[in-house]
Amino acid sequence: MSSYPLQELASALDGVDVTLDPRRIRVKSRDRYAISPLLRDMLADKQADAVVTPKTLDELKHVVSTAVRLRIPITVRGGGSANYGQSVPLKGGIVLDMTAYSGIVALGNGTIRARAGTLVAEMDLAAKATGWELRMHPTTARIATIAGYVAGGTGGPGSVAYGILRDRGNIAAVQVLTMEEQPRLLELTGPDAQLAHHTYGATGIITEVEMPLAPAWPWIEALVAFPDYLQAVRFGVSLAQQTGITRKVVSVQEWPVPRLIQPFAPLVPEGHSICSTMIAKGNLVDFEGLVAAHGGTVVSTAPEGQGPYGAPIWEFVFGHALFQIQKTDPRRSVIEGFFRAPDLPALVERVHAKVGHYGPMRMEILRVGGDVVGSGAPYFVYENPQQMADLVLAMQEAGAVVSNSHSSNVRSVGKKEITPRDLAFKREVDPHGLLNPGRFEADDSADAKFAIELPTDQWDKRQA
């Protein structure tokens, strides 16, 4: 039985959508963490005591006020598409399902603003009707909410041009509600918006998000095959560097990934690695010139979403690629290697030489802090945590930085720079430590400990 006063909660929230139904609680206490064999075990028994689904800001304020008064923690949830288990409540309490608090609030002057629960794809579609689109989106855009993306995401398609959410300018504004008995709405603009980014909902409840827009080019999805993986990497890095070729996706996958991703199999010649790309239609001639210069072959071109593989090509890259592969081989797993070097292909080559035998490598090419960088690792057949730790060490020795994609709190994942300002903000907006407890505590010793700790790198290393 829960230690929280649930009946009192339910009575106080009369009129609000509150459920204590165990099946619904079970479903809403999970996200996509099962993609990780480690998180699958660690989070198996974690779940909420109640799911609350506010429809209006007034309802939301009432929920927050009541929860604070009763000292019941709140774990905010969007579309449930996260991979780190961020929205799985570690200490029970309320899962706050924000999907009913949705809708576009404003569109124009280079930005789009929407309520927390709005699907990312819905915002993108609305913007596209005006000739614009989001600068970047998660590969889960069709199920992810915008607040979930800002609270738990990193980057995605579009990041090869604009960088990631952490880069200045990529989140225009975030409105959050404080976790106080008299909750306050705070508008965080520009650099301040970062206070609510990648904190897994622990630094205020995101109520609205404003995102900057980019021109909506007619995108062509082009799949390029190369006889050699490193050749594909060199092409990918070069394409990412082409500021004159408008590109949205550059994702390199080593053979036999094109077999493991079954819809690609008929398109890619035996033994070939691929680079999956999205290119503005008007730049196709220049793109083909670059492909030729690198000895590649364009094996498929199609307008966005109309490729012969049955889904937008951006559902075959970044974290999504592993989903596609697990359909064929559920034992495959990955870790998150981060590659940054003046000679990026040479670094990938060194790491590949060291860990290529674990399995075929992926390498998403994107920009972070203005630099073209790689994000990738081998898709290996998972055996045990020690094997995974060995892989982490081997990649680090060869020069890659490794995040812990098999952990579930902000510090141990290691993707966020945490400044004194972040901690002060956490204390201000969540004075009782009730937001997603264990995920990002002002006092780091209060963070949840996970049974298995990988020897991964923290934020400071990522700056290297």
- Interaction site with a second copy (CB under 8 A): 109-111, 131, 135, 161-163, 167-170, 172, 189-191, 212, 214-215, 217, 238, 240-246, 280-283, 285-290, 342, 367, 369-372
- Give residues with Cβ within 8 angstroms of 89, minimum separation 6: 29, 46, 47, 48, 73, 75, 95, 436
Indicate the residue among 243 and 386 with the shorter CB distance to a second copy. 243
Rg (CA), the chain: 22
Comparing CB distances to a second copy, the nearer of 40 and 128 is: 128
Q: How far is CA 434 from CA 70, 164, 430, in A?
A: 10, 28, 6
Please report how close the Cβ of residue 368 comes to a second copy at its closest, in angstroms. Answer: 9
Nearest approach in angstroms of CB 431 to a second copy is 26
Q: Read out DSSP for 351-411?
A: HHHHHGGGS-EEEEEEEETTEEEEEEEE-EE---HHHHHHHHHHHHHTT-EEE-TT--SHH
Residue 189 or 306 with smaller CB distance to a second copy: 189
Return the percent helix, strand and coil in the chain, to nearest 5.
35, 25, 40
Shortest distance, position 213 Cβ to a second copy, whole Å: 9
Distance, in Å, from the CA atom of 337 to the CA atom of 364, rounded to the nearest integer, reads 10
Which of 29, 375 has the CB closer to a second copy? Answer: 375
Residue 69: alpha-carbon gap to chain centroid? 33
What is the smallest separation between the CB atom of 344 and a second copy, expressed in angstroms? 11
Q: Which is nearer to a second copy, 134 or 260 (CB)?
A: 134
Which C-beta is closer to a second copy: that of 122 or that of 288? 288
Q: Smallest gap, in angstroms, from Cβ of residue 464 to a second copy?
A: 12
**d(Cα 354, Cα 125) in Å, to the nearest integer?**
43
Rounded to a whole number of angstroms, the minimum distance from the CB of residue 370 to a second copy is: 3
Amino acid at 271: G
Q: How many other C-beta atoms lie within 10 A of the C-beta of residue 90?
A: 21
Q: How far apart are CA 138 and CA 134, in angstroms?
A: 10
CB of 343 to a second copy, least distance (A): 9
Our CB check for a second copy shows the closer of 61 and 198 to be 198
